[in-house]
Copies of this chain bind each other. A is one copy, B any other.
Amino acid sequence: MDLEKLRHSCAHVLASAVKELYPKIKLGIGPTIENGFYYDFDLSGIKITEDDFPRIEAKMKEIISKSLDFRPVKLSPEKIKEFLKKEPYKKELYEDFKKESKNITFFGHGDFIDLCKGNHVSNTKEIKVFKLLKTAGAYWKGISSNPMLTRIYATAFPAEKELKDYLKNLEQAESRDHRLLGKQLDLFSFHEESPGSVFFHPKGAIIYNELLGFIRSEYKKRNYQEVITPLIYSKSLWETSGHWKLFKENMFLLNMDDKEASLKPMNCPSHVLIYKSSIKSYRDLPLRIADFAPLHRNELRGVLSGLFRARKFQQDDAHIFCSEEQLESEINSVLDFINYIYKKVFDFDYEVELSTKPSKSLGSAELWNKAESILKKVLVKNKLVYKVNPGQGAFYGPKIDFHIKDALGRKWQLSTVQLDFAMPSNFEITYEGSDGKKHTPIMIHRALLGSLERFIGILLENYAGKLPVWLSPVQVILLTINDKNLKFAREIKKKLEENEVRVELNDKQETISRKVRDAQLMKIPYIITIGDKESESKTLAVRTLDGKVKFNLKVENFIEELKEKIKSRK
């Protein structure tokens, strides 16, 4: 069954039910989205909450039970005028559509009519399983100066079981919500004084710095060179790069030396300036410039979403400047890097998409052909199955996207490897070839984890907070059963610290079961209870988060195994 048709039809039914129950409301839009659909309403002062869902769902069922056909509706110009007069948002859409096309269509079921391009099931009775999920505020057209509408999220499935599975997954995802985990584990907070920018607490900063240190250590092995760059740039830079025209809305603007400037939303032009700061020859290429600079994007408040969508974030960003001849081996290295991180370190499955030359593009057809065939060749060489998105590349070059699948089966786009034929020529950067002539290098934009903030959010939800030991803010906690064991506990603590293990000691006057429970809530991977037996035999009882306990471990053996695990990032 076509889920798209089913959900789109169900959105119509939702709109008709709400309209019947609250005749005064005005209709916004009602598209399908991943896993469901929504409909936006201007409630004209009425309030709808999740408490009203049973009533709306009952009305929807009533409508469905009438077995109404979905049908195109031909309206006379007068009828259209009448419809649009009652529905001001539809009127705005109608006028927008009219600029693009003469053929604007309406569809209906029963008495309900909607401005719509079609794609429905044939009859309401085909809608068997649906559920309203939640409400949210949403600006009309996503623009904050527009009215705030009420959005009702819902979903529909062909069969009950599928809905149940989906809801179960959703519940699981909610219990893993990184915003809740962030609070529970004392990793980060958000504050009204800087909406959308994360305050990483000490424990969150440890995760952040471990990830960054990991990428940095790989950069050393893979011959990337880190730079540290300014955050504010003059308008003139963004004009050259093209961002002023295309991205200005998303930048935080400010004045520098009485002229327009902005906080950088991306690093590329910074690296071009460094490239340009000295004359380059073919011997300097490939040049792999990496940067962890904080980036800022002025996202609307309504779309901010914890670590997933923040206004300030840092990427594991790098730009590779290379010659055409070096393209293949550079792309190959990047794919190896990605596979190493996703598969070897985090054990994520991932999918690959290649987006090719769009109709409007920059750079010769020859260069595009060559580049695309190199990308394909390298993908095949790396035994990567990939989907082609024809014509979906950026105007300045083809790209490869990587989507990982998390423990709940959700997909996340992380890496992009993007060729750029435009920026090098916009900024007029060159290198002297071995032929003594000037050439323009190709620029490869690449980020592997993407935004570190977002990646931490994904990790937290993927592992339900039980991070791999190398990323855990506290790796070991020692719990004393009574004060007699304190001396041995302190010895162990000192030894662990000498081995750079992050360890805490809980010597509070509490029951051991309470201490264990607290440590489990904090998702500490190794929980060591120290009682008389351990103090006397100088051994350890180690509990892991899967509930298993190993007794009589020799201290040295435990430390060695732990160190190995941390070092190998397993």
Contacts and interface: CB of A to CB of B under 8 A. Distances in A.
Interface of A: 144, 186, 189, 191-195, 197-202, 204-206, 208-209, 225-234, 236-237, 252-258, 263, 269-270, 273-274, 277-278, 289, 294, 296, 298, 301, 311-312
A194 B235 CA distance: 10
A500 to B, nearest CB: 9
Contacts of A201: 227, 274, 277
Nearest to A189: B277
B200 A232 contact: no
A197 to B, nearest CB: 3
Contacts of A256: 194-195, 252, 298
B189 A274 contact: yes
B294 A195 contact: no
Contact of A230 (B194, B234, B273): B194
A233 B277 contact: no
A247 to B, nearest CB: 16
B199 A230 contact: yes
A120 B256 CA distance: 42
8 contacts: A189-B274, A193-B233, A194-B232, A195-B257, A197-B230, A201-B227, A231-B312, A257-B301
A200, A232, A237, A298: residue with the most chain B Cβ atoms closer than 10 Å: A232
B231 A231 contact: yes
Given A193-B233, A226-B202, A231-B296, A254 B252 contact: yes
Contacts of A273: 189, 191, 193, 199
A562 B233 CA distance: 41
Contacts of A227: 199-202, 205
Given A252-B256, A255-B253, A228 B198 contact: yes
Contacts of A237: 193-194
Nearest to A261: B194
A233 to B, nearest CB: 5
B198 A232 contact: no
Contacts of A208: 228
A41 to B, nearest CB: 25
A87 to B, nearest CB: 29
A198 B229 CA distance: 6
Given A205-B228, A312-B230, A199 B270 contact: yes
A236 B193 contact: yes
Contacts of A194: 230, 232-234, 237, 256
B252 A191 contact: no
Given A193-B273, A236-B193, A198 B254 contact: no
A232 B189 contact: no
Nearest to A497: B220
A254 B311 CA distance: 14
A293 to B, nearest CB: 8
Nearest to A258: B144
Given A200-B229, A202-B225, A208-B228, 9 more contacts: A194-B230, A194-B256, A197-B230, A197-B232, A198-B228, A199-B277, A205-B226, A232-B296, A252-B256
A197 B231 contact: yes
